[in-house]
Chain A
Amino acid sequence: MNVLDAVLLALRQVWAQKLKSFFTLLGVIVGVTFLISVIAVVEGMNRYVQDDFAGAIFGINTLTIERIYTRRGGREDDRTRRRQARNPDVTIADAELLRENVPGIWYMAYNADRFMPEVRAGQNKRKNVRLIGVTDEYLALQGWDVVQGRGLTRIDDVRAIRVAVIGDAIAEKLFPEQSPVGQDIRLGPFRYRVAGVLKRQGGFIGIIRDAAVVVPWGAYQADFSRRRNVVESIQIKFRTSEALVAGESAVEEILRARHQLRPAEENDFSVETASQILDAWEGVKKVLLAAGPGLVAVALVVGGIVIMNIMLMSVLERTREIGVRKALGARRIDITRQFLAESATLSIVGAVIGMVAGSALAKLVDVATPLPASVPMWSIVLGVALGLFVGLVFGVYPAIRASRLEPIVALRYE
């Protein structure tokens, strides 16, 4: 009896009892569905974080310097909290000191931002806006291109001129029928003139840029800042990653000296780079990829045991068939092969269903959430291989039992 015959026989049986087969295969289906969808999301996230996210938020070769605030609900103990409460603010003076002393700076900017409940233009308004006060190099540093009008200049900043560069989503909402450039918008009690519109970014990351109102630092300080000379963050962009590394240690050295930290003390400020975000993601990914196989393994082992049970029942039910086959000349190896092929086929059918379900789930995540997901080819291969493996491993015992049946006993079995 060749393998193809056994596979066809198994498929016929799966098809003949669809519902029973489904429940038999549930464990394998769940395992492979989970496998495929987790890999798809991790892969998608991976590409997303590397290609878009880190670059978009933090920029390539960019440092971000911020004060360390104690997060509400964080896990720090009281002593750490008290120490963090004493952390100094990051100030304009810090920024200027860094500008003078850090080597290899390409662009440098600092900014502060706040939430605005709404921005209006005539009758039109847009709710929930992020207002960002920035120095003149900010847009260039972030790579935020201006598509209409102009960006912000040093003169805007120094003279605290009330001009704004607005995100695409805001322009669309406030000025649906005309060019926003040269028009006025109202931010709280203040009137700002639109100098330019940012290029649309779109997608998940675009939530920040497309709904932003960017104004010169001077005007922001005058109209919105509660604390003079305090900045939210300083960004420094370098031309190369080597310059970034050198710059990062220069920044730490300068700020530690300025804050009079002893060698044993930790930094009381944070210096983040895109690579740190990538590191953080690597950590999350590691957890996902470590927990994932465990869950998949549990599902597959459960699935395998169910298959083994079903196969043992099948051997019992078909004892007479086995007797007949033996009487007609089937050797042990023929019977073993038949039942192994059957359990492997069963399990692979489950794996294929799981692959379809997992891919569908990944597609759903891709379409319905901002998270991207893509099913890599190797995960499909892995899914089928695992299916085959489970079927063979858990099929061995029933198959051997079947092959060892004595023909006269099997033939007499009722």
Chain B
Amino acid sequence: MMMPPDNAVILTRGLKKEYELGAETIHALRGVDMQINRNEFVTIMGPSGSGKSTLLNLIGCLDTPSSGQYWLSGQEVSQLDDNDLAEIRNRQIGFVFQTFNLLSRTTALHNVELPLIYAGIPARQRHERAKETLDAVGLGDRMKHQPSELSGGERQRVAIARALVNQPSLLLADEPTGNLDSATSREIMEILVALHERGETILLVTHERHIAAYTERLIALRDGTIESDEPHTIGAEVM
């Protein structure tokens, strides 16, 4: 049995995902081998239908592969059950979504507290940590606001704080700037760059080249397989 190297946050071998759609079988992923190491900043790009959403779901432990193996921080997670996956998501992964996915009708602070609630952290500590994390993304003065009272950039910063608050080993950002204007996009990307410099491991999915340009490695997907995987220089080509 193979063991992943110590510094690999993500290691996959022959990752496949098939769906039954009526009589047809859709091969969304046809065997993906990849390794992402600690403190890498990686972009996955690919046209729609290339399988990047499926790959992201598998990496995010929101779904399980049809076959193949996946180690997250050295732990094989490809065959875990529902509850174990929930715990992995809670402790190892921070999600940032295109549509923010904040809970409305509740405060920014409560949104950031959510992962800590499910981690079973006592209320007082929860408050402290959520506040600190919101401070870190520059929203210390917006904690009591509801999402509807925040701008798009602020909402995404709340979402980033929520993704970070439980100190995950991997930050997954799915089109994090897809719903933002270019100035705000830049602001969000600069936060991600800063987080990377601080030591976070970040996997970004986007279809915009100038967003990919903030990262240091670019994986291109096509038809469920990796088409190319090459290094990138931060800040090149764009803006």
Contact = CB atoms under 8 A, between A and B. Distances in A.
B95 interface: yes
B51 interface: no
B105 A328 contact: no
Contact of B87 (A323, A324, A325, A329): A329
B89 interface: yes
Nearest to A331: B86
B91 interface: yes
A411 B62 contact: yes
Q: Is the interface of B mostly helix, strand, loop or mixed?
A: helix
A12 interface: yes
B90 A332 contact: no
A320 interface: yes
Interface centre among A12, A327, A332, A333 (most CB of B within 10 A): A327
12 contacts: A320-B101, A321-B103, A327-B60, A327-B95, A328-B114, A328-B162, A329-B87, A329-B118, A332-B86, A333-B83, A408-B57, A411-B62
Contacts of B97: 411
A245 B60 CA distance: 85
Contacts of B166: 329
A408 B89 contact: no
Contacts of A329: 86-87, 89-91, 115, 118-119, 166
Given A12-B105, A408-B62, A328 B115 contact: yes
Nearest to B56: A408
Contacts of A103: none
B62 A407 contact: yes
A330 interface: yes
Contact of B101 (A5, A12, A324): A324
B62 to A, nearest CB: 5
Interface in B27-84: 57, 60, 62-63, 82-83
A331 B101 contact: no
Given A329-B115, A411-B101, 7 more contacts: A1-B117, A16-B105, A323-B101, A328-B90, A329-B90, A333-B83, A334-B118
Contacts of A327: 60, 62, 89, 95, 101
Interface of B: 57, 60, 62-63, 82-83, 86-87, 89-91, 95, 97, 101-103, 105, 114-115, 117-119, 162, 166
Contacts of A406: 63
A326 B91 CA distance: 12
* Chain A interface bracket (under 10, 10 to 19, 20 to 34, 35 or more): 20 to 34
B83 A328 contact: no
Given A331-B82, A332-B83, A411-B101, A325 B114 contact: yes
A331 B115 CA distance: 11
Nearest to A324: B101
Q: Lowest 5 A-B CB distances belong to which pairs?
A: A329-B90, A329-B118, A331-B86, A324-B101, A407-B62
Contacts of B114: 325, 328
Contacts of B105: 12-13, 16
A302 to B, nearest CB: 29
Contacts of A16: 105
Interface string A256-282: 000000000000000000000000000
A406 B166 CA distance: 23
B62 A324 contact: no
B134 to A, nearest CB: 16
B118 A328 contact: yes
A331 B118 contact: yes
Contacts of B101: 320, 323-324, 327, 411
A330 B102 CA distance: 15
Nearest to A333: B83
Contacts of A12: 105
A402 to B, nearest CB: 14
Contacts of B82: 331-332
A1 B118 contact: yes
B16 to A, nearest CB: 17
Given A1-B117, A334-B118, A328 B62 contact: no
B238 to A, nearest CB: 30
Given A12-B105, A320-B101, A330 B118 contact: yes
Contacts of B119: 329
B229 to A, nearest CB: 25
A328 B87 contact: no
Contacts of A323: 101
A334 B120 CA distance: 11
Contacts of A328: 89-90, 95, 114-115, 118, 162
B17 to A, nearest CB: 11
Contacts of B102: 324
A60 to B, nearest CB: 63
A188 B119 CA distance: 92
A334 B82 CA distance: 12
Contacts of A326: 62, 86, 89
Interface string A330-342: 1111100000000
Nearest to B84: A331
Interface in A331-364: 331-334
Nearest to A1: B117
A12 B119 CA distance: 23
Nearest to B87: A329
Given A332-B82, A408-B62, A324 B103 contact: yes
A317 B7 CA distance: 42
A1 B103 CA distance: 15
A9 to B, nearest CB: 8
A400 to B, nearest CB: 13
Interface string A4-46: 0100000011001000000000000000000000000000000
